[in-house]
Amino acid sequence: MSAVDRLRAALVQAAVAVGAPADVAPALERPRDPSHGDWATNLAMTLAKPLGRKPREVADALVGALDLAAAGVAEASVAGPGFLNFRLATGDLAAGLARILEAGEGWGRADAPVGRTVVVEFVSANPTGPLHVGHGRQAALGDAISALLTAQGWDVTREFYYNDAGVQIANLARSVQARLRERAGLPLEIPEGGYHGAYIAEIAERYAAEYPTDARGDELEAVRAVAVRELRKEQDLDLRAFGVRFDVYYLESSLYTDGRVERTVADLVAAGHTFEDDGALFLRTTAFGDDKDRVMRKRDGTFTYFVPDVAYHVTKFERGFTRAVNVQGADHHGTTARVRAGLQALGVGIPAGYPEYVLHQMVTVMRGGEEVKISKRAGSYVTVRDLIDEVGRDAVRYFFLMRKGDSQLVFDVDLARAQSEENPVYYIQMAHARLSGIFRVGEVDPSRVTGDGVVWAALDTPEERELVKALLDWPTLVAGAADALEPHRVANWLLETARLVHTWYHKHHVLGEAPTVLAARLALAKAARITLANGLALLGISAPERM
């Protein structure tokens, strides 16, 4: 049992003794101000009303009834409006580090698998151009969320949905065709809704090399195939540069070829939630929380994009994913209600909140104090590759993950690059490198540092106590971040903890200290190194041994 659990159990006993119901669940938290102690609870304040007594009075009674030894508490006091503050003996507090040393890479991971699978869909870019900054934010978010869920014991599948059917692909093919005709000496006529980036001309060049007999691109289907293939390859390179891998690439076109789109419409009609109006087929999504009914089949007989969307999510459920998380830009938020409504209308037992959405706000890129909108290669937007090339993968990942998805993000390239020495990500990595340096310089094999025989009470400086507490809180932090699908909590926690490491490192020496202190501090250094490395790994950021 961990130190908190012991304390909680003892508090329940004390609470019941003063008249609280047996199912009382005291909330324990770290006081903001360390001088208040190691743990605090507002239990007395929450009990005051039901017990009909003043908060401070209840607090005094609780302290009186608390078995300090059983709680593992060295000192309990009442403060402020009725907070109970607890201080642990340093030895009891720091002994928790032994668990970190044992767990190693498993520190912060759930002990047991959840036994369920979850599909995390992200990026899902149209294969019509290189990935842009928005995709970058999404890639960082989706990958980190996947890692968080994996750490919590979920069986995670990372999935990329290719919108390779429909108008935009036709426009892509005709855009490449236009470039081919330009090469053949004809006037350049990029079609309405076509693509203007330099990469279109590159694809045309490759097509011409591959099909010398069709230099003008008259075989539109062949042009389309080459364009999609080349852009998928291109996006794959972008993702590889960013260190993101997918388990499944799901093609929208397959939903048409395997009849799923037709079947979904038939199933919805059979479910009785459709109606015809003015020659079009509607789904009554308003019956399931949408704000207006949606057209499924247009008057011209073709389907709206909404139908394959529903069909696709049905496959997720049918493939055994009882949970689905979609990471998308906030500009898609209008579609969430209708997709869920479509799934509900089918009445096949898909949960109401399926899929879950993590929507992120837009990214604006600033350089030289001005918004950057144009990338030469892409023609109209800044690409992921532009950013990685300019500031490096670790920094890009961190910048995208340090903010809540709900916040609009300003990515200041000058800042990320020019301040590369004052960059938060380097600050965290530096803490890891410094800790690694202790073992390297001291010629101590970290694998031989265990908790055995360590006198934990030797870690009794304020800096050490704070660092120990932060490290011990790591699993709770990870669990909370995973639960909320919010990787930025990890990013901010790492920054705070790196600060504690730097402060401790600067103030206290390890090598050359007396044996008892040396052993304890080596154990602390190793525990901190493990925790930082595990945190960086969750965010997909490297943990260098030296910098």
Partner RNA sequence: GCGCCAGUAGCUCAGUUGGAUAGAGCAACAGCCUUCUAAGCUGUGGGUCGGGGGUUCGAUUCCCUCCUGGCGCGCCA
Hey, which residues between 116 and 175 contact RNA (CB under 7 A)?
126, 163, 165-168
Determine the angle formed by the axes of helices 384-391 and 220-242, rounding to 10 degrees.
30
Number of chain residues interacting with RNA (CB under 7 A): 98
Residue 51 touches RNA, criterion: CB under 7 A: no
Run of H or E including 210: helix 198-210
Run of H or E including 275: strand 274-277
Least distance (Å) from RNA to the CB of residue 533?
14
- For 62-76, letters b (16+ CB in 10 Å) and e give bbeebeeeebbbbeb
Residue 373 touches RNA, criterion: CB under 7 A: no
Residues 247-286 interacting with RNA (rule: CB under 7 A): 277-280
**Which amino acid, one-letter code, is at 88?**
L
Residue 508 touches RNA, criterion: CB under 7 A: yes
DSSP 53-95: S-HHHHHHHHHHH--HHHHT-SEEEEETTTEEEEE--HHHHHT
Cβ proximity to RNA, 324 vs 433, nearer residue: 433
Cβ proximity to RNA, 241 vs 444, nearer residue: 444
Helices (H), 444-487: 462-484
Cβ proximity to RNA, 214 vs 437, nearer residue: 437
Q: Which one of 254, 286, 361, 461 is in contact with RNA (CB under 7 A)?
A: 361
CA distances from 417 to 158, 184, 394, 422 (A): 30, 42, 12, 10
**485 close to 143: Cβ distance less than 8 angstroms:** no
What does the per-residue mask of binding to RNA show for 387-406, with x meaning CB under 7 A? ---------------xxx-x
What does the per-residue mask of binding to RNA show for 434-473, with x meaning CB under 7 A? x-xxx-xxx-------------------------------
CB neighbourhood size of 224 (10 A): 18
Q: Which of 428, 423, 535, 545 is nearest to 487 (CA)?
A: 535
Q: Which one of 2, 305, 320, 462 is in contact with RNA (CB under 7 A)?
A: 305
Cβ proximity to RNA, 99 vs 508, nearer residue: 508
Find out whether the peptide bond into 191 is cis, omega within 30 degrees of 0.
no
Least distance (Å) from RNA to the CB of residue 218?
25
Residue 192 touches RNA, criterion: CB under 7 A: no
Cβ proximity to RNA, 208 vs 339, nearer residue: 339
Least distance (Å) from RNA to the CB of residue 39?
9
Run of H or E including 250: strand 248-251
Q: Which one of 495, 517, 537, 542 is in contact with RNA (CB under 7 A)?
A: 495
Angle of CA points 294, 298, 303, to nearest 5° = 85
Q: Which one of 197, 342, 424, 475 is in contact with RNA (CB under 7 A)?
A: 424
Q: Which one of 2, 322, 380, 408 is in contact with RNA (CB under 7 A)?
A: 408
Residues 222-251 interacting with RNA (rule: CB under 7 A): none
Cβ proximity to RNA, 233 vs 333, nearer residue: 333
Q: Which one of 106, 362, 374, 376 is in contact with RNA (CB under 7 A)?
A: 362
Residue 292 touches RNA, criterion: CB under 7 A: yes
Distance of CA 12 to the CA centre of its chain: 35
Residue 489 touches RNA, criterion: CB under 7 A: yes
- For 498-524, letters b (16+ CB in 10 Å) and e give bbbbeebbeebebeeeeeebbbbbbbb
Residues 61-120 interacting with RNA (rule: CB under 7 A): 79-83, 85
Identify which range of 140-148, 239-247, 376-384, 407-415 contacts RNA by CB under 7 A: 407-415
Least distance (Å) from RNA to the CB of residue 298?
4
Backbone φ and ψ for 41, nearest 5 degrees, come out as: -140, 150
Residue 505 touches RNA, criterion: CB under 7 A: yes
